[in-house]
């Protein structure tokens, strides 16, 4: 599975990209990979080198690259109708809205379709503000909500607020970062002080009357930070006490990724709104916001999303949901996720540079540290290069850039999970050998 290195052609393409694309369009690896095609859980570069993909286009390729059932639905739709806008009715949009109403928890029934998670979150906030008549919104530290002005304001990481000082009406409460608990607690002594901070935030940093709190069940770009299940029960109660609505941002956690249909279901909380994107379309551009009748009924417009409800993306989403249901992929995410988690925890026991392992289902993170939990992004960068060389693609994130994000397609096999764990173990062993060699050379 070894990588023979970047080709001259790929190197020239990288040079061309640097000339004509904004420098913010960053790529992984010292020598970027020019990908050519994919098949299931594998990607192939221009030279034919195969990579086991354990990041899925940032948790987007949910049922595998070039999935034949999704592709067939997309081709069929393209040959009939590509785009008309929501000024006309199309069956795929209504079909998907009905499907989401059936499968989401609680009383969520009314959808608004967009083209991305950013737009879905914007829509949810607009709906909440319209329905409540309040303006203040609470987001969480270490969160990520997208790249528009409002979404970057909601985001709780300075690195992702490009060219922005913030828009009014948004404040940030504590998140449940158990590994780095700001209250100095450990899991056995946790009193959910982080959740109780929500009330202090409302009382000190808002008018006391709020529109909503928006939260990811597991913080994606934040480094797969995973709160205790009781956390959302506590904050949902507090937010509703002050007249606000609870928005569950399921852009990364939705549709089986965590071993349940939706990440918030682990907490037993019924949101007032939910947002989706990424894995819903298996790589096709899509965003969706779903709300209760009471909330959505106030969102009368006029408003439009030109590409929202696009029949091609709608058919892709319907086919993706069919594959997840017919192949029991939510259950597979739970089962293979348990194997993956056990393997990562075994690596943690053997390699102290892995300070924390966290996540649910097929959304697992490893935080790399030195002594006293000092973040070690340089170790993550080395780990990336070595896993790439062995033919494994993974993700990274976190405020400190020191968390590895692991999220294969939901139809990953046990053998592929074992292969990935073996490749990661090889990369870690190489890093330890190099560290030992450096120590021996140090006088």
Tens-place pLDDT, residues 376-410: 999 999 999 999 999 999 999 999 999 999 999 99
Residue with tokens 């770009």: 221
Q: What is the DSSP letter of 26?
A: -
Report residue 272 as tokens.
């007032």
Task: Verify cis geometry, omega within 30 degrees of 0, for the bond prior to 107.
Answer: no
Report residue 147 as tokens.
């790249």
Cβ contacts of residue 378 below 8 Å, gap of 6+? none
User: CA quadruple 52, 57, 62, 65: dihedral positive or negative?
Assistant: negative
Domain 8-63+329-441 = CATH 3.90.1150.10: yes
Report residue 115 as tokens.
């083209």
CA 223 to chain centre: 9
The pLDDT of residue 5 is 52
- Stated pTM of the model: 0.94
223: alpha, beta or left? (left if phi > 0; alpha if psi -120 to 50)? left
CB 227 within 8 A of CB 180: no
- Helix, coil or strand: residue 324: helix
Report residue 303 as tokens.
């408003």
Rounded distance between C-alpha atoms, residue 23 and residue 20, angstroms: 9
Q: What is the DSSP letter of 170?
A: E
Considering just the CA atoms, what is the radius of gyration of the chain in Å? 22
The pLDDT of residue 2 is 53
Rounded distance between C-alpha atoms, residue 228 and residue 291, angstroms: 25
Burial (0-12, 13-18, 19+ Cβ within 10 Å), 422: middle
Report residue 418 as tokens.
């074992």
Q: What class, spelled out in words, does domain 69-326 have in CATH?
A: alpha beta
CB 74 within 8 A of CB 284: yes
- Helix, coil or strand: residue 144: coil
The pLDDT of residue 186 is 86
Among 399, 332, 408, which residue's Cα sits nearest to residue 364? Answer: 408
Rounded distance between C-alpha atoms, residue 35 and residue 28, angstroms: 12
pLDDT along the chain (443 residues), means of 10: 60 88 89 95 96 98 98 98 95 98 98 98 98 98 96 95 86 96 87 92 96 98 96 96 98 98 97 98 98 97 93 98 98 98 98 98 98 97 97 97 98 98 97 76 48
Sketch the domain layout of the chain as residue ranges.
8-63+329-441, 69-326
The pLDDT of residue 343 is 98
- Helix, coil or strand: residue 53: strand
The pLDDT of residue 443 is 47
Rounded distance between C-alpha atoms, residue 390 and residue 359, angstroms: 24
| CA separation, residue 337 to residues 236, 313, 333, 417 (Å) | 27, 28, 5, 9
């Amino acid at each position: 599975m070894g990588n023979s290195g970047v080709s001259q052609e790929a190197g020239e393409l990288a040079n061309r990209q640097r000339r004509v694309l904004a420098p913010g369009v960053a790529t992984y690896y010292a020598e970027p990979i020019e990908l050519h095609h994919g098949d299931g859980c594998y990607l192939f570069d221009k030279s034919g080198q195969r990579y086991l993909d354990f990041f899925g286009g940032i948790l987007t390729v949910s049922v595998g690259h070039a999935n034949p059932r999704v592709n067939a639905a997309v081709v069929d739709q393209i040959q009939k109708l590509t785009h008309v806008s929501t000024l006309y009715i199309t069956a795929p949009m209504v079909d998907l809205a009905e499907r989401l109403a059936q499968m989401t928890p609680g009383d969520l029934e009314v959808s608004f379709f967009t083209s991305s998670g950013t737009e879905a979150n914007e829509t949810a906030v607009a709906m909440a503000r319209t329905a409540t008549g309040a303006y203040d919104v609470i987001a969480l530290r270490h969160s990520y909500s997208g790249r528009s002005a409002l979404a970057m304001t909601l985001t709780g990481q300075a690195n992702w607020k490009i060219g922005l000082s913030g828009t009014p009406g948004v404040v940030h409460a504590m998140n449940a970062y158990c590994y780095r608990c700001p209250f100095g607690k450990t899991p056995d002594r946790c009193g959910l002080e982080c959740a109780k901070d929500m009330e202090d935030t409302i009382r000190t940093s808002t008018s006391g009357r709020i529109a909503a709190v928006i939260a990811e069940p597991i913080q994606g770009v934040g480094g797969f930070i995973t709160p205790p299940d009781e956390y959302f029960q506590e904050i949902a109660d507090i937010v509703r006490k002050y007249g606000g609505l609870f928005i569950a941002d399921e852009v990364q956690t939705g549709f089986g990724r965590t071993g349940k249909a939706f990440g918030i279901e682990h907490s037993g909380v019924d949101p007032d709104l939910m947002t989706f994107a990424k894995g819903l379309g298996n790589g096709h551009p899509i965003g969706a916001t779903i709300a209760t009748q009471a909330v959505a009924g106030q969102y009368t417009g006029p408003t439009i999303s030109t590409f929202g409800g696009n029949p091609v993306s709608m058919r892709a989403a319907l086919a993706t949901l069919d594959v997840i249901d017919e192949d029991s992929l939510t259950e597979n995410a739970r089962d293979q996720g348990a194997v993956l988690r056990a393997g990562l925890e075994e690596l943690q026991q053997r390699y102290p540079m892995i300070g924390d392992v966290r996540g649910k289902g097929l959304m697992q993170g490893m935080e790399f540290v030195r002594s006293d939990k000092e973040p070690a992004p340089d170790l993550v960068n080395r780990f990336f290069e070595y896993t790439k060389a062995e033919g494994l693609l993974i993700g990274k994130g976190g405020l400190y850039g020191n968390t590895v994000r692991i999220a294969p397609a939901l139809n990953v096999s046990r053998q592929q999970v074992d292969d990935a764990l073996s490749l990661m173990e090889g990369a870690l062993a190489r890093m330890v050998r190099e560290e030992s060699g450096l120590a021996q050379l140090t006088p």
